[in-house]
Amino acid sequence: MNDNDIVMTKFLAILFAICSGLAIGNLYWAQPLLVQIMDGFGLPAANGGLLVTATQIGYAMGILFILPLGDFVRRKRMIALVMVLSVLALVSCAISPSFIILSLSLFSMGIVTISGQIILPLAGDLSREDERGHIVGIVSSGITTGILFSRFASGIIAGFWGWRSVYVIAAALNLGMVLVMIYVLPEIPAKNKFKSYGKLLASVFTTFKNHRSLPNILLHSGLIFGLIFNIFWTSLTFLLSAEPFNYNTFQIGLVSLAGLAAAVFGVGIGKLQDKGLSIPALGAFIVVCLVSMVCGFAFSDSIVAIVIVAAVLSVAVQGVSVLTQTRLFNLSQGERSRLNTSLLWSLGGWSYVMMAASAVSVAALIVWLFSRSKFKYADESLDN
């Protein structure tokens, strides 16, 4: 059996979206809980950002050192294995007796919470070329929904039963999804021959030489999703828990629902790539990110404005994410797995966060302005 023998149905795309969303959501359960967790350990609230940092560092290591194996091993087994390890890490979070142990548990969870990034290129592999953007849009919407649902659900659950219960329920959900994926996901053979792990890691970096537009694609994704999206939602917890809002975890979780607007629009965003409109659309979404951050800075004392900013930003980030992921997967069929801040708050609060996010948006816009020709060159190469 090869990838072409497996039909990417809408049901399979939706299943991929749910599984990816649940996996990526594991990285974000803690964000609305930072104040409650730190109060429980008797530590300053601003130190809670270290938990997010530990999770993201672990995730980055998993992406670099484990994810490339997706191009060389049977992905069904790899997905099941990392999901089981995620369940164990979630249980460790739930029973952590100290801040240090919790940090280490979150770091470990970050390392193995990569099944979503295995599934996303797999969806690209199984899709027809003329519908790849649409399929990636569906799965990416699941990822965004998972991130925002985890923030919403964790706030609600912690409001009733405390923050540890969040990780118990997350572990149960992930275990259930493991069983579903083992039963439903077809057995897909490895795409490439695995020679040595050292050569595999080296090949991650040689892809930059082989694909001219790759650095710019990764820059857009890293600046917008990796930085702006994460610093906004992390800092939002601190903003809403302080004056003038004084929201509890339940109320903070409700605000997270604003981000679900991205899931509604995300399914159709991938069609822009299929229609050849990705370059101007990417620039437009970056501009929207910049405008939303400026508005977040200007109207920081209005909950209505904050909710609108959260919704608009989520749609814009989703647009950048879908378009960059689709372009990434179009570069090479055999390398898709390899292709794939609390400090600011303590220094100056919400205003520093919004100014930093605005600066990042400007940087992303500059990258887009100077990389349009490279994107066009890459599109012409694909056409030929």
Closest CA to 324 of 232, 256, 229, 235: 229
> CA-to-CA distance for 117 and 135, rounded, in angstroms?
14
Distance of CA 178 to the CA centre of its chain: 20
Q: Which two tokens stand for residue 37?
A: 């967790």
Q: What is the pLDDT of residues 303-327, one digit of tens each?
A: 999 999 998 998 888 888 777 776 6
Query: Could you say which DSSP state residue 186 is in?
Result: P
- Mean predicted confidence (pLDDT) in 109-121: 86
CA torsion sign for 216, 222, 225, 227 is negative
> CA-to-CA distance for 10 and 7, rounded, in angstroms?
10
C-alpha neighbours within 13 Å on the C-beta side of residue 148: 26
Q: Which pLDDT score, from 0 to 100, does residue 341 have? A: 42
Helix (H, G, I), strand (E, B) or coil at 189: coil
Query: Poorest-confidence range of 1-15, 203-217, 297-311, 345-359?
Result: 203-217
Largest CA distance in the chain: 62
Contact 314, 205 (CB under 8 A): no
pLDDT above 70 covers a percentage of the chain that reads 76
> CA-to-CA distance for 277 and 270, rounded, in angstroms?
10
Distance of CA 278 to the CA centre of its chain: 20
Contact 253, 304 (CB under 8 A): no
Closest CA to 86 of 53, 117, 64: 117
Under the phi-then-psi rule, with left for phi > 0, alpha for psi from -120 to 50, and beta for the rest, what region is 205?
A: alpha
Q: Which two tokens stand for residue 39?
A: 């109060």
Residue 382 banded pLDDT, cuts 50, 70, 90: very low
Q: Write the DSSP string, 271-300.
A: HHHHTT-HHHHHHHHHHHHHHHHHHHHHTT
Contact 338, 68 (CB under 8 A): yes
Q: Which residues lie closer than 8 Å to 69 by C-beta, 6 or more apart?
A: 78, 194, 200, 337
Contact 153, 253 (CB under 8 A): yes
pTM for this structure? 0.73
Q: Which pLDDT score, from 0 to 100, does residue 204 have? A: 64
Q: Which pLDDT score, from 0 to 100, does residue 192 have? A: 65
Q: Tell the burial category of 150 from Cβ atoms under 10 Å away from its Cβ (0-12, 13-18, 19+).
A: buried
Contact 237, 34 (CB under 8 A): yes
The type of residue at 9 is: T
Q: Which pLDDT score, from 0 to 100, does residue 26 have? A: 92
- Mean predicted confidence (pLDDT) in 112-129: 82
Q: Which pLDDT score, from 0 to 100, does residue 120 have? A: 79
Q: Which two tokens stand for residue 186?
A: 């077809």
Query: Poorest-confidence range of 194-203, 228-237, 290-299, 339-348?
Result: 339-348
> CA-to-CA distance for 156 and 171, rounded, in angstroms?
17
> CA-to-CA distance for 207 and 378, rounded, in angstroms?
14
Average pLDDT score over the chain: 79
> CA-to-CA distance for 216 and 371, rounded, in angstroms?
7
Contact 168, 267 (CB under 8 A): no
B/e letters for 27-47, b = 16+ CB within 10 Å, e = fewer, are bbbbbbbbbbbbeeeeeebbe
> CA-to-CA distance for 173 and 188, rounded, in angstroms?
24
Q: Which two tokens stand for residue 110?
A: 């970050």
